[in-house]
């Protein structure tokens, strides 16, 4: 007897959207309340109402600048995420193969998470300049941690019975890695990617903001709008940076569900 797969019901999808939409409406209402009722006339420039921020996107000059800066930020984030994924995967696999490698590298993986990135951004600029390469380095440093820790947990979390089965079969280290550890860790690789995607966008914006020169990304655009007290333009840029990070998170989440969601409980399998 086969059980037909249940398709998501439209009402169920609508019910899942009600909560986020209600919170969004509440945020907009609070924004309007602060703009019109909390701030006095001399302070209203600090927080323009939502419709004024939205109107910024209809200004061709501002829209062109913001979209061009978004591409610069997205390019650095994507390249940095790709490099961090390769380096993180290699590091996680190496650490999973030998305890002494894990003991040797683990403190430095933790160190990368605790680096005060704002403090070393000027140093990175001095060493590598202020163009794309330096921003990619910032993205790699920020995004690296989840791309090591999450895959490492999956590689080391193989069921003991399956490990014993491979041992009984005299499986080589390579066979155990390819046929057991990597498939077991696949969901964790995507969890790490999803987490690191948003961090890479943050790293790109932060690096751009504090470098203060080079090709104009969202961070540098924010700095310029802030120095000119262009509040509506600045908030529009902040919102677009948030949406870029959210889009990266959703894209890799959808990729994870597509690739491993049919058999991984973490990604939707029952």
CA 232-237-238 angle, to 5 degrees, is 100
> What pLDDT was estimated at residue 180?
87
In a domain, 211, yes or no: yes
For the chain, the domain total comes to 1
Query: Comparing C-alpha atoms, which of 17, 21, 20, 26 is closest to residue 50?
Result: 26
Whether residue 15 is predicted with pLDDT greater than 80 in this model: the reply is: no
For the chain, the straight-line distance linking the first and the last C-alpha, in angstroms and rounded, comes to 18
Dihedral sign, Cα of residue 54, residue 55, residue 60, residue 66: negative
Residue 77 placed within a domain: no
Q: Is 111 a domain residue? A: yes
Q: What is the pLDDT of residue 3?
A: 44
Poorest-confidence range of 12-16, 141-145, 177-181? 12-16
- Global pTM reads 0.82
What percent of the chain lies above the pLDDT cut of 90?
17
Mean pLDDT score of the chain: 83
- What is the distance between the alpha carbons of residues 234 and 56, in angstroms, rounded to a whole number? 10
Domain hosting 210: range is 99-257
| pLDDT tens figures, 246-269 | 898 888 888 888 887 677 666 665
Residue 129 lies in a domain: yes
Decide if 143 contacts 80 (C-beta within 8 A).
yes
pLDDT of 231 strictly over 90: no
The DSSP call for residue 177 is: I
Residue 24 inside a domain? The answer is no
Residue 9: what pLDDT? 57
Closest CA to 166 of 98, 96, 150, 174: 174
DSSP string, 87-112: HHHHHHHHHHH-HHHHHHHHHHHHHH
For the chain, give the percent of residues with pLDDT over 70: 91
Determine, yes or no, domain membership for 118: yes
114 within 8 A of 127, measured Cβ to Cβ: no
Could you report the per-residue pLDDT of 130-145, keeping only the tens digit for each? Answer: 788 888 999 999 999 9
> Is 42 among the domain residues?
no
Res 211 pLDDT > 60: yes
86-90 contacts: CB < 8 A, separation 24 or more?
87/140, 87/144, 87/147, 88/144, 88/146, 88/147, 88/148, 88/151, 88/192, 88/196, 89/147, 89/151, 89/189
What's the DSSP call for residue 44? Answer: G
| Higher pLDDT among residues 51 and 81, named by residue | 81
* 162 inside domain: yes
Structure tokens at 19: 């909560």
Could you count the other beta carbons within 10 Å of the beta carbon of residue 11? 8
pLDDT for position 225: 85
Confidence (pLDDT) at 5: 47
What is the band of 83 on the pLDDT scale with cuts at 50, 70, 90? Answer: very high
Cα torsion 165, 170, 174, 178 to 10°: value is -30
What confidence score (pLDDT) does residue 149 get? 93
**Confidence class for position 151, pLDDT limits 50, 70, 90:** very high
- Across residues 79-88, what is the average pLDDT? 94
Q: What is the CATH number of the domain that holds 128?
A: 1.10.3720.10
pLDDT at residue 98 above 90? Answer: no
Q: Residue 104: pLDDT band by 50, 70, 90 thresholds?
A: very high
């Amino acid at each position: 007897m086969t059980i037909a797969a249940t398709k998501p019901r439209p009402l169920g999808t609508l019910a899942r959207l009600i909560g986020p939409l209600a919170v969004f409406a509440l945020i907009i209402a609070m924004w309007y309340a602060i703009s019109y009722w909390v701030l006095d006339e001399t302070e209203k420039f600090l927080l323009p109402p939502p419709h004024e921020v939205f109107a910024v996107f209809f200004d061709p000059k501002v829209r062109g600048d913001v979209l061009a800066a978004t591409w610069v930020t997205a390019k650095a984030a994507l390249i940095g995420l790709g490099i961090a994924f390769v380096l993180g995967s290699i590091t996680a696999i190496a650490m999973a193969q030998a305890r002494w490698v894990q003991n040797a590298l683990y403190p430095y993986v933790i160190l990368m998470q605790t680096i005060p990135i704002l403090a070393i951004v000027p140093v990175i600029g001095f060493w590598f300049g202020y163009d794309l390469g330096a921003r990619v380095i910032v993205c790699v440093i920020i995004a690296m941690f989840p791309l090591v820790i999450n895959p490492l947990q999956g590689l080391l979390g193989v069921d003991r019975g399956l490990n014993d089965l491979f041992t009984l079969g005299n499986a080589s280290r390579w066979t155990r890695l390819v046929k057991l550890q990597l498939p077991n860790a696949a969901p964790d690789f995507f969890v790490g990617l999803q987490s690191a995607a948003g961090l890479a966008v943050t790293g790109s914006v932060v690096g751009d903001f504090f470098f203060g020169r080079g090709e104009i990304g969202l961070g540098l655009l924010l700095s310029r709008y802030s120095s000119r007290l262009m509040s509506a333009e600045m908030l529009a840029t902040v919102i677009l940076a948030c949406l870029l990070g959210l889009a990266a998170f959703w894209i890799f989440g959808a990729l994870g569900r597509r690739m491993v969601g049919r058999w991984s409980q973490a990604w939707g399998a029952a």
